Structure 1
Amino acid sequence: MFGGGGMNPRKMKQMMEQMGIDVTELDVEKVVITTSEEELVFSDAQVTRMDAQGQQTYQVVGEPESREKGAIEPAGGDGDESSDAADTDDDNGAAIPDEDVNLVAERAGVDADTAREALEATDGDLAAAIARLE
């Protein structure tokens, strides 16, 4: 579309701003894409969000690990036990860490109960919960 081969990145950014396109690098820990047959897990992905004309587009760059849909991650795999707890709904919402609830509430400008509901609806996905509330 733009043929940016050899174009100065600063000039490209300036052109995108003029067209109303905002590009943001997201600091993510993990990205999970669930299909009808499997889950693709990106543990070390680069994620870029592009906002253009009211639409958000996400670009994920990285090498995914493929696993069966609904498979449980091995305990102690990355030392982050809170992510295993967040994948289950056995505790009636207690599986969502309070710091996640507080972060979503602060970023979206809502109360903690609304933030927790959004996190539960998005299976603990912080970015999706914030986007849902904005």
Structure 2
Amino acid sequence: MFPGMGGKGINPRQLERQMKAMGIDMYEIENVRQVIIRTADKEIVFNDAHVTVIDARGQKMYQLIGTPEERALEKEIPDSDVELVAQQANVPKDLARQALKETKGDLAEAILKLSGGK
């Protein structure tokens, strides 16, 4: 029984029948290993996820239950930026890439850092 429904509980089977009558189907995705939500600057990872799909006449909604773990994403450094910094600072590309990572992609700061200006 579900509490809080008009003072009386609703039988889960009745609820399921009512949902079916409205064209709503619910089911769990089995054997989910991991769910990752990736944004521009972070990942939210669920290693213990339980995922339920609610299909309402072709519109699917996913309900996710689990413990989130947030991870910051490393900013991708374009190869063209690496080449530019390497040329300007007269250093190998691996040093240029490392400097760009340390300066969070700031080209001028990376060049200054590698040229001894900082």
Q: TM-score range by the shorter chain?
A: 0.5 to 0.7
1:7 equivalenced with 2:10 (yes/no):
yes
CA contact (8 A) 2:19 2:25 kept: yes
Q: Which has the higher strand share?
A: 2
What displacement does 1:69 show?
A: 2.2
- 5+ residue gaps, structure 1, are 72-134
Identity %, equivalent residues = 46
Corresponding residue of 2:61: 57
SS of 1:11's equivalent in the other structure is helix
Please tell me the residue identity of whatever aligns with 1:52: A
Structure 2 unmatched ranges of 5 or more: 76-118
SS of residue matched to 1:47: strand
Choose 1 or 2 for highest CA Rg: 2
By relative contact order (CA 8 Å, sep 6+), the higher-ranking structure is 2
Q: Is the 8 A contact 1:39 1:69 kept in 2?
A: yes
Q: CA RMSD in A?
A: 2.1
SS of 1:36's partner is: coil
Q: Does 1:26 align with 2:35?
A: no
- 4+ residue segments displaced more than 6 Å: none
After TM superposition, the score normalised by the length of structure 1 is: 0.47
What is the identity, as a one-letter code, of the residue corresponding to 1:21? I
Cα displacement (A) at 1:70: 5.4
Change (3 A) 1:68 1:58: same
Taking the aligned partners of 2:51 and 2:19, their CA distance within structure 1 comes to 18
